[in-house]
Structure 1
């Protein structure tokens, strides 16, 4: 099965996924360049039981918005009326986008301004990326990172 089809199947599966399965897929994806990221991206979590998924669900998380390398909105959420906004309280500010080494590869990485949290990205295709949240605090749950995806809106 080709990687984009395998990725789409995991997104649609709706069942609990093992981190090792997601790590194996991650290893086969191409690194993402920072130039790929512009505009609004819709997001979703892979169900690994990570506590960040519940937190994002409660916040009404929609995705991320990349306006410039130094102007990234990591937590675009929906309010009660359905309007999108940047939740700078939960995110402790906003973020920037850098090329950072992660697992032996240099790939696009979103760095939160107010937390020791990094979202590393690899490319599924030109409009879809897989992300791994890494760092300190809620980024790791039982030593495991949070796995998610973004699709260009």
Structure 2
């Protein structure tokens, strides 16, 4: 699968209401370009792919909105909405916040969010200028998974510059 095909298939699966194959998501991941931590600064609205992972649906139950990367040393992995609809960083659920690093995952260095209080890493690749694909990895998870797959879309009100502005041809 080439990058153009991967982007198109990603968009189809993102809109799918129902289960998505982790194997197909892995194929998409392999075709996408890595991204640097500095390129993803800003506010992001999140969503998940339902693959049958034990975390499927749990973030929705917590009121998860997305992630905020204020700087490489100030990442908020669990931006949630309270009962009044206001956004806040759910430090309790995340056992702290996080930072952004470049970490090798599946043989490629890419932007990765390292949680402060949990042995969890969220790896990112660029789908297009306003969309990231994420794979959550954690201590104790075998190299073949199961992984938690999610996506982030740049929030319209985000004050930060977009990631590389390559055309999604």
TM-score greater than 0.5 by the shorter chain: yes
Which residue, 24, 30, 37 being the options, matches 2:40?
Answer: 37
Secondary structure at the aligned position of 1:13 is classed as coil
1:12 aligns with 2:15: yes
Which residue, 70, 74, 88 being the options, matches 2:73?
Answer: 70
- Residues 41, 72 of structure 2: 8 Å contact kept: no
In structure 2, C-alpha distance between the alignment counterparts of 1:64 and 1:92, rounded to whole Å: 15
What are structure 1's unaligned runs of at least 5 residues?
none
In structure 2, C-alpha distance between the alignment counterparts of 1:99 and 1:34, rounded to whole Å: 7
In structure 1, C-alpha distance between the alignment counterparts of 2:11 and 2:57, rounded to whole Å: 22
The CA RMSD measured in Å over matched residues stands at 1.6
User: Partner residue of 2:125?
Assistant: 122
Secondary structure at the aligned position of 1:130 is classed as strand
Normalising to structure 2: TM-score of the pair? 0.85
User: Partner residue of 1:59?
Assistant: 62
Normalising to structure 1: TM-score of the pair? 0.93
1:103 aligns with 2:106: yes
Note closer, same or farther for the CA distance 1:2–1:143 as it changes in structure 2 (3 Å cut). Answer: closer
User: Partner residue of 1:149?
Assistant: 151
Q: What number of residue pairs does the alignment pair up? A: 151
- Residues 36, 126 of structure 1: 8 Å contact kept: no
Note closer, same or farther for the CA distance 1:9–1:77 as it changes in structure 2 (3 Å cut). Answer: same
In structure 1, C-alpha distance between the alignment counterparts of 2:96 and 2:122, rounded to whole Å: 15
In structure 1, C-alpha distance between the alignment counterparts of 2:21 and 2:12, rounded to whole Å: 14
What are structure 2's unaligned runs of at least 5 residues?
156-169
Going by fraction, where is strand more abundant, 1 or 2? 1
Deviations 1:19-68 (A, max 9, x none): 10100000000001112112210000001011222220110000000000
Secondary structure at the aligned position of 1:9 is classed as helix
Measure how far apart 1:143 and its partner are: 4.3
Which 10-residue stretch deviates more, 32-41 or 96-105? 32-41
User: Partner residue of 2:162?
Assistant: none
